[in-house]
Structure 1
Amino acid sequence: MLFAFFAAIAETERENIRESTLEGLDTTAGKGKHGGRPLAITDALLHTVLRGRAKGESVEQIQPDLISPTSKRRGQSPSVASIYRAFAEHTKREAYPDGVEQARADIRRPPRR
């Protein structure tokens, strides 16, 4: 019974920490601040990628022309994987404009029990 009691206290404490963390993330997001590393592909770079793709160029052909201003690799070309990831996210946003934001909101919302 003693272990069950301590397990219940630990689970309650874990849920309190999780809720506090999510509230803090929502508060900072409301102020326009987002955690994490800066994006390797900015909107301007994505626009360049989309123009190149419209001309029929491959991502490998477009990649050397790009210079990342904000990422860990600042001043260098972003990786091909980063370009594909940004392109895929853009495609999803175009196909489901509200879906991406709704999915992110669902992730932040604590599960109901």
Structure 2
Amino acid sequence: MAETERENIRESTLEGLDAAARKGKHGGRPPVITDGMLHTVLRRRADGETVEQIRPDLIIPAGKRKGHNPSLSSIYRAQAGGDARAAARAPGRRSRARNQEPEAGRREAT
């Protein structure tokens, strides 16, 4: 009885998540570093500025810390992810994850 109820709850939850995804909605915390902020960071870092110099000009647009500056670790984390995304978009390049062998004990997706 309890297993059936649990399965019904799980199915309803998954259906709701699928419906939200079709509408373009997703749950979770809003990002601290937006795509525009990341673009600014990458451009200014390429010009030789340090993250410490860039940080005061960045303002978190939404969420609990709205109106504050992001932490240095958030900027560094976004910068590392942004560099990886830019490299993956480069023509003729495959992302690092695709070139790696699957981990031991893990099956490759089919």
Structure 1 unpaired stretches of 5+: 1-8, 101-113
Cross-structure match for 1:58: 50
Offset, 1:61? 2.2
Within 5 Å, which residues of 2 pair with 1:1-113? 10-11=2-3, 13-96=5-88
User: Deviation string for 1:9-65 (max 9, x for gaps)?
Assistant: 555544443343233212102101111222111122111111111112222221111
Which is helix-richer, 1 or 2? Answer: 1
Structure 2 unpaired stretches of 5+: 90-94, 98-110
> TM-score scaled by structure 2?
0.64
Taking structure 1 as reference, are residues 81 and 21 closer, same or farther at Cα in structure 2, changes over 3 Å only?
farther
Query: How many correspondences in the alignment?
Result: 92
Higher relative contact order (CA 8 A, sep 6+): 1
- What is the CA RMSD across the aligned residues, in angstroms? 2.7
Q: Which stretches of structure 1, 4 residues or longer, exceed 6 Å deviation after superposition?
A: none
> TM-score scaled by structure 1?
0.63
Do the aligned partners of 1:40 and 1:72 also contact (CA within 8 Å) in 2? Answer: no
